[in-house]
Amino acid sequence: MAVAAKLLAEALELPPTERAELAGRLFRSLDEGAAEDPATIETAWSREIARRLREIDAGAVRLLDEDEADRVLISDEPDRR
């Protein structure tokens, strides 16, 4: 951890634009190698879509139009979110 602390101290001395570039590159590096296989992601989304469609067809959920969704999102009623 001492190396990380030293690097952080040095990075904090960089100009803001260079710090932003470094931060972005570090952030993007977290995704490298961690990405799942595209087919696995596609399968997961297909299952989620099918699950949501079953809920709609069963009447388990109520669909909202855009105006009503906006009202619910800005509402102070916790049970409406």
Grouping H, G, I as helix, E, B as strand and the rest as coil, residue 61 is coil
Question: Above pLDDT 90, what percent of the chain?
Answer: 54
C-beta of residue 64 within 8 angstroms of C-beta of residue 72: yes
Residue 52 pLDDT grade (very low, low, confident, very high; cuts 50, 70, 90): very high
Mean pLDDT of 67-76: 87
Is the pLDDT at 13 greater than 70? The verdict is: yes
Confidence of residue 61 (pLDDT cuts 50, 70, 90): very high
Q: How confident is the model at residue 35 (pLDDT cuts 50, 70, 90)?
A: low
What is the C-alpha to C-alpha distance for residues 73 and 57, in angstroms, rounded to an integer? 24
Residue 81 has pLDDT above 60, yes or no: no
